[in-house]
Structure 1
Amino acid sequence: MKISKLRNIGISAHIDSGKTTLSERILFYTGRIHKMEEVHGGGAGATMDHMELEKERGITITSAATSVEWNGYGINLIDTPGHVDFTVEVERSLRVLDGAVLVLCAVGGVQSQSITVDRQMKRYHVPRLAFVNKMDRTGADPYRVTQQLREKLGIDAVMIQLPIGAGEKFEGVIDLIKMKATYFDGKDGEKVRYEDIPADKQAEADEYRHAMLESLSMYSDELMELLLAEEDIDENMIHDVITEAVRGERITPVMMGTAYRNKGVQLLLDAVVRYLPSPLEREIKARAYDNPDERVALVPEPDKPFVGMAFKIVDDPYGQLTFTRIYQGKVEKGATYVNQRTGRKERFSRILRMHSDKREEIDSAGAGDIVAIMGVDCASGDTYASQAKFCTLESMFVPEPVIKVAVSPSQRSDADKLGKALARFRKEDPTFRVMTDEESGETLIAGMGELH
């Protein structure tokens, strides 16, 4: 697949905004799965929540990665935790993504973790779309949520859809670009149907379309001239202005729906491939190895020297799995690459494309892609390159732990096992710290909260 048709996106939100359910619907509509499971409800548990603890609690703890296709585009999708205790998982994901979907609850709106995620997106310059989920709930109010995005996050949130009804009466959305009412038919909402806007919604749709065009005209002189002259504005032109403004991190388009009731997800996928950037449109710079003040521009082309970043490590029954984003060049199975931090040469024995906890073995992967590597021994945040002392990618921001507890083995003979387990956790999770209390000699562990 061409790099221009690739999207690396994350789905982030405050806990219980329904983002794992949204991920599940994305997998269903893109043909990755043929039966939808719910996060709660006694079924097999959501596909993206593959750890036993996640299925038991109905929350997402680690970032699950999967690859899907939509209308000829490849999407690497990362579903991240919403609970503040697992915030480093979100840091890790955003560090290597090109775009994100910020999911908000239509009732709860902008909550504490939404603010944290917004700060992380701004830190890594990740363009985003906003999806107001749970429109079927009593008290759903996307207008209030959009206002909160502007006031609490200080972003230019632009509604490109309006709801048709809310709560129990939520039927579909009005597309303010097409100026059509959109409904989702069939058992699983798989049939998208466009109709004329209901007569009782026409005046509101006209008003909000004008407000949308006024917001967009701030980013396009041509659009502003057409608006002032009261001339017709072409659909493609609106899409182009939104695309440019989103990729420049100037606006956040607001869409809406209810993933649980199968409404609005396909339009969100259309927006992901249309507005969010491919790896080609992202400017990535690494630090030159010899001179950390000098920046090396990385180009997502397969014939350049390989540069990639290990952004997540998972201990697997078959060995260590290292999730890696390829920024330049390509990786090949069995080839040797250099860890820029340790200077060690390491053989990439297997390259895997992940689908949550299932895997597909591949021979090579090119620039812009996200894959899992087996057979390497590294730490989260390490840079790999095809030559020694080439460059390093800036590692991610790691927050300080907020809680400490003492741990001890249940019996002395288990001390060695405990030591190994703690060392493994420390390697997988940079927010997990292990230390010894100077006075009591006890082993202390520190992390991001009780749940952590």
Structure 2
Amino acid sequence: MAYTTDLIRNVALAGHGSTGKTTLLEHILFSAGAIAKPELVESGKTVSDYNEEEIERKISVHAALARIAWGDKKINIIDTPGSSDFVGEVILALRACESTLVLMDARSGVQIETIKTWRNLDVRKKPRMVFINKLDEERAPFQNALADLKDKFKGNFVPVTIPMGEAAGYKGVIDVLNQKAYGVPASHDQKESSSDVPAEFTAAMAEARAALSEAAAEGDDELMEKYLSEGELSQEEIVKGLAEALAGNRVIPVFAGSALKNSGMLALLDFFAAIAPSPHDHAKESVKGSDAFINVDPAAPLAGMIIKTQIDQFSGKLSFVKVICGKLGTDTDYVNMSDQKKERPSKLYTALGKKLEDVKELYAGDIGIIAKSPTLRTNDTIGAPERSEQFLPLRLPQPVHAVAITATSKKEEDKLSELLHKAAEEDYTFSVRFNSETKETVIAGMGELHLNMILDKIKHSAKIAVETRVPRVAYRETITKKAGGEHTHKKQSGGHGQYGKVVLEVEPRTRGEGYAFENKVFGGSVSKGFVPGIEKGIHQAMESGIIAGYPVVDVKSNLMDGKEHPVDSSEMA
């Protein structure tokens, strides 16, 4: 089934490591009927952590797409890693999704990766929600976590669900928006069921609903007037007001729960479907080389951007695409704006982790996969033949940790190079280059863990043994003060000889200014035809340096004087 733009929701899951993102997604998928049984991270069988490296280390490494149907809505959820080593995967998800659910461990409060995610969302002016997790644990009171959020970040934090009890006394959540309670299931692989709100929590729910109504009314004069005069809003008015406030970043909805206990999932799903922003009115992309934007528009000619590349051992190259305008189908011709080549998708997929499901078309706002395109790369723009715009490439942080690498067996050097370049095609925060000065292949990434994960994947998939070491430093030489000198070259071995005298002055330049040469000879003591040869000789001398044999940089050479012979002088001399 193809979903039109207004029925699509794109939500990223982000937050510090071990806050429960993968576990939350697993139980959302179970609650929505997308999977028959929720797995635990320790089992190595979760939907979003399916690579060998993720299974072995029990952490998320890649952004993973999972689609679900809830009511008449399609919800695309992208689970992201919590380690800073894989920040590139987080950034691509935040760009692709109209809203983000930030997970928070109630015991730990706001942590560093949460702060980084928040700042990234601020830069993008993207709506966000917060799920306060692990409320069934000791020393994890909901109000303390909420207070920490308000202390660390600006914004109107409004609980949509509140907990019934805490720690060992945690009994579930109250859905304030829909005025019902969800008890904790007897087991995490059983679904929640709703009931009336217990009498002991009705006062807390009434207080939270008043705050929810006030947040819905703010920014809408008509709703605010009604709220002030009557003291309450209808259910439809609260939903409408919250949807507008969330899309406008005027409210930050907060949810309570325990992902591990499968508690708080149904209220979250209902909120995503009813209130989370759709791409239709709330998504736009910047145009490269312009201040213009292109809004998500199902009626406009096709435009889409490649948000991620994945090279799968069995499925081949997968290009994750977000359709911005029009419709992309298996019968659609499009142009890759990077090289102007026309293509047609051989297959289109939607994804449930590693499970790929065929679809015939993707509407504007949807996220899917183009299979086995030989030319598409991350950041490419695809479009109808009549389009010419390219979307602004995603800006990612530069690698900060580098090692030199070689294959243990010389016979496998070419294969290793091929695999490293494939890894760089998948991950734009990873780079590989050959240093011609030190004669080393150097790989760089966001940290030691990042590089280890890439190398582990290569070892597992290709059975190649590698050795790494600290890269050699390509030193440079320079001078610190002005100096002068002269040299006379004489060579006589019968016939024409070689003769030349050069008087040079060298002076330092500012770091990074490079090399400069100036001919200051007056009176014709050195013919102009010999000057290029002198400069070439200076260049050759600079390549091997004077003190330790390293290239000389940031100097200026002044040719002051010289002497030549009418027969024996030449450019070579």
**TM-score bracket, shorter-length normalisation:** over 0.9
Change (3 A) 1:227 1:299: closer
Shift of 1:132: 0.8
The answer to whether residue 56 in structure 2 is matched with residue 28 in structure 1 is no
**Which position in structure 2 is the counterpart of 1:272?**
272
Tell me if structure 1 keeps the 8 A contact 2:345–2:371. yes
**Which position in structure 2 is the counterpart of 1:445?**
443
Shift of 1:321: 0.7
Counterpart amino acid of residue 302 in structure 2 = F
Of residues 401, 404, 415, the one that matches 1:403 is: 401
**Matched residue of 1:241: which SS?**
helix
The answer to whether residue 343 in structure 2 is matched with residue 341 in structure 1 is no
2:115 and 2:442 map into 1 onto residues whose CA distance is 30
Question: Which one is further off, 313-322 or 258-267?
Answer: 313-322
**Which position in structure 2 is the counterpart of 1:370?**
367
Question: Which one is further off, 83-92 or 404-413?
Answer: 404-413
1:400-439 aligned at under 5 Å gives the runs: 400-437=398-435, 439=437
Q: What do the CA deviations read for 1:71-97 (whole angstroms, capped 9, x no partner)?
A: 121111211111111010011111111
Of residues 342, 355, 358, the one that matches 2:355 is: 358
2:197 and 2:329 map into 1 onto residues whose CA distance is 52
Counterpart amino acid of residue 175 in structure 1 = D
Q: What do the CA deviations read for 1:344-374 (whole angstroms, capped 9, x no partner)?
A: 2233222122221111223322222111112
**Which position in structure 1 is the counterpart of 2:472?**
none
Change (3 A) 1:346 1:232: closer
**Which position in structure 1 is the counterpart of 2:385?**
387
Question: Which one is further off, 216-225 or 93-102?
Answer: 216-225
Tell me if structure 2 keeps the 8 A contact 1:343–1:388. no
Shift of 1:250: 1.6
Counterpart amino acid of residue 412 in structure 1 = K
**Matched residue of 2:259: which SS?**
coil
**Which position in structure 2 is the counterpart of 1:8?**
10
Flag structure 2 segments of 5+ consecutive residues without an equivalent: 451-573
1:159 and 1:217 map into 2 onto residues whose CA distance is 15
**Which position in structure 1 is the counterpart of 2:197?**
196
**Matched residue of 1:260: which SS?**
helix
**Matched residue of 2:27: which SS?**
helix
1:2-81 aligned at under 5 Å gives the runs: 2-40=4-42, 43-81=43-81
2:361 and 2:178 map into 1 onto residues whose CA distance is 41
2:177 and 2:29 map into 1 onto residues whose CA distance is 26
- Identical positions, percent: 32
Change (3 A) 1:296 1:227: closer
Shift of 1:286: 4.4
Of residues 312, 315, 321, the one that matches 2:308 is: 312
**Which position in structure 1 is the counterpart of 2:173?**
173
Tell me if structure 2 keeps the 8 A contact 1:64–1:79. yes
2:378 and 2:232 map into 1 onto residues whose CA distance is 52
1:344 and 1:125 map into 2 onto residues whose CA distance is 34
1:255 and 1:319 map into 2 onto residues whose CA distance is 39
**Matched residue of 2:379: which SS?**
coil
Tell me if structure 2 keeps the 8 A contact 1:335–1:349. no
Tell me if structure 2 keeps the 8 A contact 1:127–1:247. yes
1:95 and 1:411 map into 2 onto residues whose CA distance is 41
2:237 and 2:423 map into 1 onto residues whose CA distance is 50
Shift of 1:430: 0.9
The answer to whether residue 101 in structure 2 is matched with residue 112 in structure 1 is no
2:368 and 2:208 map into 1 onto residues whose CA distance is 42
Change (3 A) 1:211 1:333: closer
Change (3 A) 1:13 1:378: same
Shift of 1:388: 6.2
Q: What do the CA deviations read for 1:226-246 (whole angstroms, capped 9, x no partner)?
A: 444453432222222111100
**Matched residue of 1:242: which SS?**
helix
**Matched residue of 1:16: which SS?**
coil
Q: What do the CA deviations read for 1:252-289 (whole angstroms, capped 9, x no partner)?
A: 1101111111111010011111111112122414427x
**Which position in structure 2 is the counterpart of 1:293?**
290
Counterpart amino acid of residue 127 in structure 1 = P
The RMSD of aligned alpha carbons is 2.1
Tell me if structure 2 keeps the 8 A contact 1:128–1:276. no
Tell me if structure 2 keeps the 8 A contact 1:6–1:279. yes
Tell me if structure 2 keeps the 8 A contact 1:347–1:375. no
Shift of 1:216: 4.3
**Which position in structure 1 is the counterpart of 2:548?**
none
1:58 and 1:309 map into 2 onto residues whose CA distance is 31
Shift of 1:218: 3.3
Of residues 296, 321, 324, the one that matches 1:324 is: 321
2:126 and 2:229 map into 1 onto residues whose CA distance is 35
Larger radius of gyration: 2
Shift of 1:191: 3.9
2:273 and 2:179 map into 1 onto residues whose CA distance is 20
Q: What do the CA deviations read for 1:415-441 (whole angstroms, capped 9, x no partner)?
A: 111211111111111111223346422
Change (3 A) 1:348 1:214: closer
Question: Which one is further off, 149-158 or 257-266?
Answer: 149-158
Counterpart amino acid of residue 267 in structure 2 = L
Shift of 1:116: 1.2
Higher relative contact order (CA 8 A, sep 6+): 1
Tell me if structure 1 keeps the 8 A contact 2:180–2:194. no
Shift of 1:180: 4.2
1:211 and 1:287 map into 2 onto residues whose CA distance is 40
Calculate the TM-score normalised by the size of structure 2: 0.73
Shift of 1:118: 1.3
Change (3 A) 1:442 1:413: same
Counterpart amino acid of residue 194 in structure 1 = S
Shift of 1:157: 1.3
Question: Which one is further off, 272-281 or 220-229?
Answer: 220-229
**Matched residue of 2:273: which SS?**
helix
